[in-house]
Every structure is written in structure tokens, then in C-alpha cells.
A and B are shown apart, each in its own frame.
Chain A
Amino acid sequence: MADPVSLSLHDVHGFYGESHVLHGLSLDVVRGEAVSIIGRNGAGKTTMMRAIMGLLERRSGSIIVKGVETIVAAPERIARLGVGYVPEDRGIYSSLDVTENLLLPPRVGDDCMSLVDIYRLFPNLEERRRSQGTRLSGGEQQMLAIARVLRTGADLFLLDEPTEGLAPVIVQRICAAIVGMKEKGHTIVLVEQNVDVAAHIADRHYIMEHGRIIDLITRSELDARSDRLKSALGI
């Protein structure tokens, strides 16, 4: 049996140029669970995701992905441990069409979805498979960003605000896709501002403020502590 902890951050500090954004962040994600990271804008959620992917210029502390210390590893090496990243800006390439966007990331694990499976999950993408990636609607781009990492066989997914700015009916479809990923036993780290979406998907919710984790709410505590969750978001 592999290490039950899929992702472990301990005392992580992260910097953008001179500005110190992550201040000793620690959290653990167990294999097969979904956790959400909740916090206001500027709390450091996206920076945390970028730190895990090795995309920050400077970071320190310890980030262990599936038992491997990655604090000094290059992004491509981290991805090849089986990590699928859906960035906040969706990261769709304008110089690639939809199919090329889907086929870009190399395989990083065994449990890969085929193009056929992906088109069954997101039929819109098949209709638009020859379109330039950035000509898709926001919702289609988000589906593409998620589909792209599902194809790689990753089993640890970092999803940075996958429902941001999307219409409710699209949000539902994205949610269903993420729940489907969880049911397959994949591990999910979800940054989310939409409390309903986070509550629907995640087993535990880390509250983040000023680059640190300040609280943890489990699914069973959610009803009793929903005010805490909302205040963390400033609602």
C-alpha cells in the first residue's frame, strides 16, 4: 500500500519577487479525499497552488507529493509524479486548437481517460475540437482545462477556482465532473469561493488567511460552523 498521505505541506513560505505571500503554510491531504481551500482574495490560495507545482520563483519549507520531497524539484518533475493542474486562468493555449490542447500534456499515470471518454463527458469539446483554444466560451475553456488533466492519468488534482465566473448550469456540469473524479478515487485540492460548490465536493475545508491555514472544518461540522465558513470569505 502506498503512502496514505497524497500531499503534505509543512511550514511552506512562498514569495513573488520581494513580497512574502505564504507564511508557514501547513496542511495534509489524504489519498482519495477532496479538500477545499477557502479564503478571501489575496489570502494566498493561488500562490499555494503555484508553490505546489513549483511555479514560484522562491519557496521554502517542505512539500511532499506522494512521499517525494519536491521543494526544490522542477515543475515538470512534480507533474510527472501524477499531479494534474488546472490553473486559475485556465491556461488554454491560443496557438493550439482544442484537440491539441487536450493532447499536449504527456501521460503521467496509468488511469488515463481516452479522447472518446472525454468527449462523452464534455460533448461541447468534441463539437469544437478544431477551434482555436481561446475562442471557446469561458465554460468550455474550463471543461477543456479539466479534461486536459483527466487525460494524463494524474490522480492528484489541483483545481484553482474551476467555477469562477461561470453560469449556474455550467457550474453544475463542472461540479458533476469533479464529483466523478472523486468517485474514481482521485485526490482533489480545490480552491473555491463558491461555498455551495465547496460544501458539495470537499470532505474538509481549510480556511486560509494572510498566507496561513487558520482553521479546519470537516464535513460533519459544516452545518454548525457554516457562519465561520462564510465569514472566512467575507460573506
Chain B
Amino acid sequence: MNAQVLFGQLLIGLINGSFYAMMSLGLALIFGLLGIANIAQGAFYMMGAFFTWMLLRWFNVGYFAALALVPIAIGVIGMAIERLLLARIYKLDHMYGLLLTFGILMLVQGLFVWLFATAGRPYPAPAALSGGFDLGFMFLPKYRVWVVFASLAFCLATWLVIEKTPLGRTLRAATENPMLTRAFGVNVPALMTFGFGVGVALAGAAGLLAAPIYSVSPIMGGDLIIVVFAVVVIGGMGSILGSIVTSLVLGLLEGATRVVYPQGANMVIFVIMIAVLLVRPAGLFGRER
């Protein structure tokens, strides 16, 4: 077997895994706090990539400024959608959340197809992160190294906030027992709005990181979210670190499969999902509810 091909695919796998990690972390945060399986996460990812592209193309605002602006913009849009739409359905069955966010995904995706058509648009990696390192057995592009570290940094920062800060303490309490937490004087509805904003901002940041790697297109999020849902089902909703590790391992496994048995690469995650569902329905790190 060609080592260069193997390492090349494993690197792609690691990068995909990094995106899965940011996406599934946002999903887990939102599901814990709001009880909504947010399929629209794919739309926020796509908008994150598009906003990055628009900033450069229309306003000549570069990558690093976008790194600060795009997650905030996506978070604000998310909070508006939570207040206007999601807040109305919390008392209904989980299925309504799935349907509503699926509708939002279709609507946003349709809007962008209408405005920009489905063809991908290239986005150049910033100059500081172009080029790469020749490791002898393979060429390692700088930007891909950056993506892996940046996404891990986003994930670890989120984990630190949730586990180690007063805000995170309140978030965990509101996730475990929202009504009691309100009875202690915590404004849980406002916290849910904020949590949704943070969850979708993670997806927006993932979209931004993805823009120079994949071409920016209206359908990029819809394709990704299906795989991410499978990743979340495999990892379970119980642990943040668990979902990060699951995401990276599954990304690598997908890359390895592409070398050994390319035809199976697109379905290996789903095969694992079926196996996990049979053995541990709550997922590898999940707790039975």
C-alpha cells in the first residue's frame, strides 16, 4: 500500500473529524438545553462559509477578521430564529423540533440556491496559511494543520466554559432540571436563546474553516449534517469530550476506509451507527434517559 495515499486520506479524515466535532458539539449543546435535534445546524454551517466568502468578495474583509465576525453574525441570526420560531414549540414533542429545523434548513438552503445557484465557489486560503511542509513521505498543507488545531481549540474552549465557569455551571443545571433552575431565579429561557446562539455559532465557525478546503456551495451543509447526525448517534449525548473523540476517530476511520475499500467510505459511519444502535442505543458515551 502507498504510504502517501494512506497518510493523505488519514489527514482528510482528521479534518473531516474536526468538522464533525464542532458540528456535533453544537448539536449536543442545543439538544441538551432545548431538547431540539437541530437539523438546521447544516444551514448555519453553510451560511458560515458563505458569509466568509461574501465578506472577502463584497467587502474585501479577509479571513482573520471573518474568524471573529462570522461566528458572532451566525450566533445572532440563530438567537433571532430561536426567539421567533423555536421558542414556540418547546412544549411539544421532540419530533416537532426536528420538523421545524428541517424546514428551516430547506428554506435557508433554497434561498441560497435561488441567490447563488448550486455551483461551488472557491475561497483562497489566507496567505499566512498557504503553502505547506514537505515531510518526505507526504506534503502537509499548512491550512489543513491550522484547521485541525483551530477546531480543537474551539471545541476545548467550549468544553472549558461548560465545565469550569459559572456560566457553564448554570448551563449544566438548566440542562439537567430547567424548571428547578428557574425556581432558583435563573432566567432559563434567556439562557436557552444564548445556548442556541453558541451552538449554531460553532457550526458557523466550522463553515468558515471549511471555506478554503471545500468549495462554498448552498448544499454543503445539507450533505454534512446527515453524517454528523450519525456521529452524534454513535457518540451519544452524554459527554462533550466523548463526542469530540468520537468525531475524530470516525473521521479517521472514514479516511482509512477510503484507502482500503473506497466504495465503502461513504457508508462506514452509517454501518457503525447501526451496530452501535443495536448494542448501546444511548450511544457510546450516552446515558439512558
**A interface residues, Cβ below 8 angstroms from B:** 53-55, 74-76, 78-80, 85, 87, 91, 93-96, 100, 103-106, 108, 148-149, 152
Contact = CB atoms under 8 A, between A and B. Distances in A.
B64 interface: no
Contact of A104 (B173, B175, B179, B189): B173
A129 to B, nearest CB: 14
A96 B173 contact: yes
A76 B186 contact: yes
B172 A80 contact: no
Given A91-B177, A93-B172, A93-B177, A104 B182 contact: no
Nearest to B168: A100
B181 A104 contact: yes
Given A76-B185, A100-B169, A103-B169, 5 more contacts: A93-B177, A105-B185, A106-B185, A106-B186, A108-B185
A104 B183 contact: no
Contacts of B175: 95
A75 B182 contact: yes
Given A95-B175, A103-B169, A87 B188 contact: no
A94 B185 contact: no
Q: Which 6 A-B pairs have the closest CB atoms?
A: A79-B185, A105-B184, A75-B182, A95-B172, A75-B183, A76-B182
Interface string B159-192: 0000000100110110111011111111111000
Nearest to A97: B169
25 contacts: A53-B183, A55-B179, A55-B182, A74-B189, A75-B179, A75-B182, A76-B184, A76-B186, A76-B188, A78-B183, A79-B182, A79-B185, A85-B183, A91-B180, A93-B173, A93-B177, A94-B176, A96-B169, A96-B173, A96-B176, A103-B169, A104-B170, A104-B184, A105-B185, A106-B185
Contacts of B177: 91, 93
Nearest to A85: B183
Contacts of A108: 185
Contact of A95 (B173, B183, B187, B189): B173
A148 B173 CA distance: 14
Given A76-B182, A91-B177, A104 B169 contact: yes
A148 B184 CA distance: 9
Contact of B183 (A54, A94, A100, A103): A54
Interface residues of B, number: 19
A70 to B, nearest CB: 12
Contacts of B185: 76, 79-80, 105-106, 108, 152
Contacts of A94: 176
Contact of A93 (B176, B179, B189): B176
Nearest to A87: B180
Contact of A74 (B170, B172, B173, B182): B182
A95 B181 CA distance: 13
A135 B231 CA distance: 31
Contacts of A75: 179, 182-183
Contacts of B169: 96, 100, 103-104
Nearest to B191: A76
Contact of B186 (A53, A55, A91, A105): A105
A79 B182 CA distance: 8
Contacts of A93: 172-173, 176-177
B176 A95 contact: yes
B199 to A, nearest CB: 18
Nearest to A105: B184
B90 to A, nearest CB: 13
A79 B175 CA distance: 19
A91 to B, nearest CB: 5
A79 B176 contact: no
A104 B166 CA distance: 8
B243 to A, nearest CB: 16
Interface in B58-89: none
Contacts of B179: 55, 75
Nearest to A108: B185
A223 B286 CA distance: 56
Contacts of A78: 183
Nearest to A89: B180
A55 B178 CA distance: 11
Nearest to A154: B185
A76 B173 contact: no
